[in-house]
Every structure is written in structure tokens, then in C-alpha cells.
């Protein structure tokens, strides 16, 4: 019997949730110690109170929680800071497109994407994603179009989503459970689309919510030439969890994958990522037990068990200033039952070692390298070298984050703005030309610092050799070196002239210099009345020279095109 679309969708969701099942217990343990309040309620049977405030009642030391916040803040400031540019657009087709008017169009597109991201809730949502990534090793940011702010983001917590991977190892399918009020569903899809049970609930109380499943996956059977929702590259399927539903609630599509799925570290064959929180979990458990033991020791020292004579039974008060009446001859030997003398200094020292280990495991030493005055005696160059050396430790994480989160983010943002008409008209040179995304954040720049330093060292060496032989300067292309340094530094295109603009500037300077020489030589041969006439003759002569130069360059370009063909 042929399966319906609803049955296929339910089978697909069940398979994705089965693959996620082994991670539930791990995520529940991580949320318990590193991020109380995060994660789905159904992660483990012992973790049903995750969303309540009592979920942190077993936390005796919050070092790990604070370390996660520092790591999340450091990742945001280093990869996608709202205070500085962190990406640039470039053209794959021709390097000349990356300067001049086309470069300025790309800059304008960048500015509009930055403005749209700033107006939306992107920067608050991406901070939550970095927190999820540090704790659970997997994070999911849902991005959808919004008429008011262009974009809207929602960071899903661990246990709220189930993933499926494609042939390239990337996440291509996501299923999530959501609850929506019946009144919203009825107004958006119509009462007839609801199941029989949902219609009964709607008639009683429209404010009640029902559970839905939203599945997004690649659409394998479609007509690419059609632009309707049923033929978009990614299918969007929405249906009720209730078994009384006999058809899909809605079926649509996306032009780009709307789920931005990140993983901290992935082992071959695994779907979900591993986190630095998982690596530090043994230390975190030990730290909680050590603090618990230390508190117990302090309590026994301050308030030890007491040895009390029988005569004080049911009438002894140990409250400060209390009055206890005794009979004549009654023994008043009230003393501790036993006394302990723990070495609290040694215990505190060991606890501090474990705390430091947790902070290092969560990369706090990297982002707080200037805290505590440890680098006060170093020069600015030494500080820069040490900071860049430490930032290289996050190289694999940065590369994975750029490919799994930031690149799809910019691609989808560009598509949404282009379809809504919010971008300037694309130059004809860029039509059907793929755009390249370059990341210029502080962490991304740290990965490129080696190339920039190599260029600087080479130019310095050539400059020193020029003192012995000035002709060596002809060996180095200084103009290309400036372009490379500008690209590595991520400076605005308006700061560096393109090759065509530089050619025009030099041509104008040469014309002015030649014209000045002509006027100086001829001023002695003719009287001043002929000077305006000479200016006009010289201007016409230079125009003819420019026209001949342009025609020669065009002929050369045509010859090169013929050679390529």
C-alpha cells in the first residue's frame, strides 16, 4: 500500500528522533552542571525539572556556568561582533571586480545586510547559539523572513530538534516540535485543515495550544523551472502530532536551508557534535563534590554535634543569649561530641586547581589573556604575538563555524533581501557570477596573520637590500602587496584605488606635467594672446592620444579573448 505524504513525514521524523535518542542523557547531564534552564524537558527521566529554578539546587560551585558565559561572549566578539565588520563580499569571476564601482556595490550590499541583522534579533540569538555550542557541542539557529525586520531568528535548545545529515556530511534535515495556539492555526490555515480533535478543542477554548511537528528537508522531486513553494529546493512540512490528523497542516518550501546548524567538533560517523563542556564534565563533577565536602567540614567545625547531659533533654537552647536553667548539683558538661581539624587551606588550593582546569578547558584563558595583569611587563608587539598564537588554538572551530553557520547565514540573508527588493540593482558584470564570502572578524584575522606578516617581512627585506642595489625594487610588485594586505586586513574598498583608477590618476598627472612643459617652452616663442589658443590645441592633442591608447587596449583585450577561446 502506497504511503501518504503524512505517513512518510511521520516515519522520517521518527527515524531522526531515534538517531537523537543516545544524546538525550548526555545533554541532560551537561545542562544540569553547565547551563541550568537550557535543554528540552524530555532529555532524561531524572531531568524533568530542567526548566524550573530548582534545577540548580545541586550546584555548589558556579565556576563552569560563568566559564561558559565567558566562552560564549568571547566567541561572539571574536566571530560576529556587532561593534565591527566581520564579513566581506567578493567576486569569484574577476579580481578587477573586487575594486572600483563593482566593489562599491558589494560594499553597499554588505552595509544593508549589516543593517538588517542589527535591526533583527540576530545578535541576541547568536549569543544563545554560542552558549548552546559550548555546552552541548550542537546548536540550531532557525532563520526566517520577516516583513518588518527582514529577518527573525530563534535559537533552539538541545532536545528540541532532531538532525539528519546529507551526502556531504552537512545537516540537511531538521525536525522540531512546537506548540501553537489553535486560534493562530485556524486564522492562518483555516478550521477545515485542523484535525477533528483540534476542531473540538477550538470550539471549547481557542487559546489552547496543540503540538505540531515542523520538518525541513531537501525536496528530491521538483521542477526547478517553477518558482512556486511546491518546487523550492527545501520542503517545509507541518503536521499535528495527534493521531486523528489525516493530512498535512501545511506544505511549503524554502529557497535556502533555514536551519543554521553548528557543531563544535564532529567524529566521523556521528551526527551531533562534541563540546568543550563534555571534555570538562569530569572536572566539573569533582569540583561540585569537593565544594560539598568543604562546606560539610566547615559546618562541622562551626556547628559540631554536641554531647548534652540527660538533664537538658528537650529544654536545651543553643541560641546566642539563651538562658538554660539547671538544678543544683546537675552536671553542666556540654561539649562537642567530637572535633575535626581539616586542612582547609590545602583543600581550597586543590579546589582552585580544578577551577583553573575547567576555565582552561572552556578557553577562558584565551579570551581573558589580558586580565589579572599577567602581561603588564610585555611590549605591544609581544602581546600581539602571544594573543595571535593563542587564537590559533581555535582555528578548527573557527573554520567549522564559518562553513556551517556564518556562510549559510550570509547566503540566506542575501537571498531574502534580494527577493524582497531591498538590495540595489546588481551590475551586469555580476549577473550569474557567484559571490565569495570573506570573514574579517578578529578570530578570522588571527588565522590570516601569518600571511600578512610574511608580506611585511618580505617588503622589509627588499627595502634593506635596496640600499645595496636599488634595482631589486623592480623585482617586487608593491602595488599588488598593498592589495593583498588590504584584503587580509578587511579595510573598506574606498581606501584603496583599483588598477583602472590608478592608471587614470597617473595618466592625468602625466598629461598635466607634459602640458606644463609645452607651455613653458612655447611661452617664449609666442605672445600671451595666443596662450588660450595653445591650451585648446594641447587639449585636443591629448584627447587624440587618449583615444588611440584606449583603442589599442581594446584591441589587445580582443586579441586576448580570441586566444582564450
**Residue 234 burial (C-beta neighbours within 10 Å; 0-12, 13-18, 19+):** buried
Residue 236 is classified by DSSP as E
The count of domains in the chain is 1
CA 237 to each of CA 9, 175, 223, 247: distance values in angstroms, whole numbers, following the listed order: 8, 9, 18, 11
Residue 274 is classified by DSSP as B
Q: Is residue 292 part of a domain?
A: no
Domain that holds residue 430: 1-48+56-172+212-279+364-440
Residue 204 has pLDDT above 80, yes or no: yes
Q: Is residue 140 part of a domain?
A: yes
Q: In the predicted model, what is the mean pLDDT of residues 487-494?
A: 65
Q: How far apart are CA 249 and CA 225, in angstroms?
A: 26
The residue count of the chain comes to: 565
Q: Is residue 75 part of a domain?
A: yes
Q: How far apart are CA 169 and CA 272, in angstroms?
A: 11
Site of grid cell 537538658: 312
pLDDT at site 362: 93
* Contact indicator for 152, 120 with CB cutoff of 8 Å: yes
Give the DSSP H/E element, type plus range, for residue 306: strand 306-307
**Least trusted range by pLDDT, from 153-167, 172-186, 206-220, 551-565:** 551-565
Q: How far apart are CA 191 and CA 206, in angstroms?
A: 11
pLDDT digits (tens, 9 = 90+) for 105-135: 888 999 999 999 999 999 999 999 999 999 9
Residue 31 CA from chain centroid, whole number:
21
> With pLDDT > 70 as the criterion, what percentage of the chain qualifies?
78
Beta-ladder partners of 307 = 335
Q: Please spell the DSSP secondary structure of 47-84, one letter per residue.
A: GTTTTSGGGGTT-S--HHHHHHHHHHHHHHHHHS-TTS
pLDDT at site 184: 92
Beta-ladder partners of 161 = 176
Q: How far apart are CA 221 and CA 224, in angstroms?
A: 9
**pTM (2 d.p.):** 0.77
**Least trusted range by pLDDT, from 29-33, 179-183, 543-547:** 543-547
Banded pLDDT at 262 (limits 50, 70, 90): very high
Q: Name the 3-class secondary structure at 261.
A: strand
pLDDT at site 493: 60
* Contact indicator for 254, 216 with CB cutoff of 8 Å: yes
Q: In the predicted model, what is the mean pLDDT of residues 156-177?
A: 93
Q: Is residue 427 part of a domain?
A: yes
pLDDT at site 490: 63
**Least trusted range by pLDDT, from 75-84, 349-358, 377-386:** 377-386
CB count within 10 Å of CB 435 equals: 16
Q: Is residue 323 part of a domain?
A: no
Q: Is residue 1 part of a domain?
A: yes
Q: Which has more pLDDT, 209 or 457?
A: 209
CB count within 10 Å of CB 252 equals: 14
Q: Which has more pLDDT, 165 or 321?
A: 165
Residue 320 has pLDDT above 50, yes or no: yes
Banded pLDDT at 10 (limits 50, 70, 90): very high
C-alpha cell at 31: 545542562
pLDDT at site 361: 93
pLDDT at site 521: 64
Residue 500 has pLDDT above 90, yes or no: no
- The average confidence (pLDDT) of the chain is 81
C-alpha cell at 435: 559571490
Q: Is residue 188 part of a domain?
A: no
Q: Name the 3-class secondary structure at 37.
A: coil
Strand locations in 305-464, DSSP E? Answer: 306-307, 335-336, 435-439
Residue 160 CA from chain centroid, whole number:
20
* Contact indicator for 212, 179 with CB cutoff of 8 Å: yes
Q: How far apart are CA 182 and CA 204, in angstroms?
A: 11
pLDDT digits (tens, 9 = 90+) for 430-486: 888 888 888 887 777 766 666 777 787 788 888 888 888 888 777 788 777 777 777
pLDDT at site 565: 35
Residue 379 has pLDDT above 70, yes or no: no
Q: Which has more pLDDT, 383 or 495?
A: 495
Q: Which of 280, 256, 275 is nearest to 264 (CA)?
A: 275
Q: Is residue 118 part of a domain?
A: yes
Q: Which of 271, 165, 140 is nearest to 218 (CA)?
A: 165
Banded pLDDT at 376 (limits 50, 70, 90): low
Residue 188 has pLDDT above 80, yes or no: yes
Q: Which of 263, 260, 287, 259 is nearest to 275 (CA)?
A: 263
Q: Which has more pLDDT, 278 or 468?
A: 278
Amino acid at each position: 500500500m502506497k504511503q501518504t505524504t503524512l505517513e512518510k513525514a511521520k516515519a522520517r521524523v521518527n527515524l531522526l528522533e531515534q538517531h537523537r535518542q543516545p544524546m538525550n542523557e548526555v545533554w541532560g547531564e551537561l545542562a544540569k552542571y553547565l547551563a541550568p534552564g537550557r535543554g528540552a524537558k524530555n532529555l532524561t527521566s531524572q531531568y524533568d525539572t530542567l526548566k524550573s529554578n530548582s534545577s540548580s539546587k545541586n550546584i555548589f560551585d558556579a565556576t563552569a556556568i560563568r566559564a561558559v558565559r565567558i566562552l560564549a561572549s568571547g566567541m561572539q566578539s571574536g566571530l560576529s561582533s556587532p561593534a565591527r565588520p566581520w564579513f566581506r563580499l567578493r567576486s569569484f569571476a574577476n579580481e578587477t571586480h573586487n575594486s572600483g564601482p563593482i566593489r562599491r556595490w558589494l560594499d553597499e550590499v554588505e552595509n544593508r545586510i549589516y543593517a538588517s541583522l542589527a535591526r533583527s534579533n540576530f545578535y541576541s540569538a547568536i549569543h544563545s547559539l554560542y552558549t548552546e555550542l559550548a555546552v552541548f557541542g550542537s546548536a540550531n539557529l532557525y532563520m526566517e523572513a520577516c516583513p518588518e525586520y527582514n529577518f527573525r531568528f530563534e535559537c533552539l535548545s538541545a532536545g528540541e530538534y532532531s538532525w539528519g545529515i546529507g551526502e556531504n556530511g552537512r545537516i540537511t534535515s531538521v525536525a522540531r516540535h512546537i506548540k501553537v495556539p489553535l486560534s493562530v492555526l485556524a486564522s492562518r490555515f483555516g478550521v477545515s485543515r485542523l484535525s477533528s480533535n483540534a476542531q473540538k478543542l477550538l470550539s471549547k477554548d481557542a487559546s489552547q495550544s496543540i503540538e505540531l511537528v515542523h520538518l525541513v528537508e531537501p525536496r528530491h522531486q521538483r521542477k526547478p523551472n517553477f518558482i512556486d513553494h511546491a518546487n523550492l529546493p527545501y520542503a517545509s512540512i507541518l503536521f499535528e502530532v495527534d493521531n486523528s490528523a489525516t493530512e498535512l497542516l501545511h506544505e511549503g518550501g524554502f529557497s535556502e536551508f533555514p536551519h543554521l546548524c553548528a557543531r563544535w567538533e564532529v567524529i566521523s560517523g556521528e551526527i551531533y557534535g562534541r563540546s568543550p563542556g563534555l571534555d570538562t564534565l569530569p572536572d566539573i563533577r569533582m569540583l561540585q563534590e569537593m565544594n560539598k565536602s568543604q562546606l560539610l567540614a566547615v559546618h562541622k567545625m562551626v556547628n559540631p554535634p554536641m554531647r548534652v547531659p540527660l538533664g537538658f533533654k528537650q529544654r536545651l537552647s543553643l541560641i546566642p543569649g539563651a538562658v538554660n536553667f539547671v538544678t543544683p548539683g546537675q552536671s553542666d558538661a556540654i561539649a562537642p561530641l567530637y572535633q575535626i581539624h581539616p586542612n582547609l587551606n590545602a583543600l581550597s588550593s586543590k579546589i582552585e586547581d580544578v577551577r583553573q582546569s575547567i576555565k582552561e578547558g572552556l578557553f577562558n584563558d584565551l579570551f581573558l589573556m589580558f586580565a589579572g595583569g599577567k602581561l603588564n611587563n610585555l611590549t605591544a608587539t609581544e602581546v600581539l604575538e602571544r594573543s595571535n598564537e593563542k587564537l590559533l588554538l581555535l582555528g578548527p572551530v573557527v573554520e567549522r563555524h564559518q562553513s556551517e553557520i556564518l556562510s549559510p547565514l550570509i547566503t540566506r540573508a542575501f537571498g531574502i533581501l534580494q527577493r524582497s527588493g531591498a538590495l540595489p540593482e546588481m551590475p551586469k558584470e555580476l549577473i550569474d557570477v557567484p559571490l565569495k564570502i570573506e570573514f574579517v572578524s578578529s578570530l578570522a584575522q588571527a588565522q590570516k596573520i601569518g600571511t600578512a606578516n610574511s608580506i611585511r617581512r618580505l617588503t622589509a627585506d627588499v627595502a634593506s637590500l635596496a640600499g645595496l642595489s636599488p634595482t631589486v625594487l623592480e623585482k617586487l610588485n608593491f602595488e599588488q602587496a598593498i592589495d593583498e594586505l588590504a584584503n587580509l586586513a578587511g579595510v573598506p574598498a574606498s581606501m584603496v584605488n583599483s588598477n583602472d583608477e590608478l592608471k587614470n590618476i597617473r595618466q592625468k598627472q602625466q598629461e598635466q606635467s607634459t602640458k606644463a612643459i609645452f607651455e613653458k617652452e612655447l611661452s617664449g616663442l609666442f605672445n600671451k594672446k595666443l596662450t588660450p589658443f595653445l591650451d585648446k590645441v594641447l587639449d585636443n592633442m591629448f584627447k587624440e592620444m587618449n583615444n588611440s591608447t584606449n583603442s589599442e587596449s581594446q584591441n589587445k583585450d580582443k586579441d586576448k579573448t580570441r586566444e582564450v577561446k
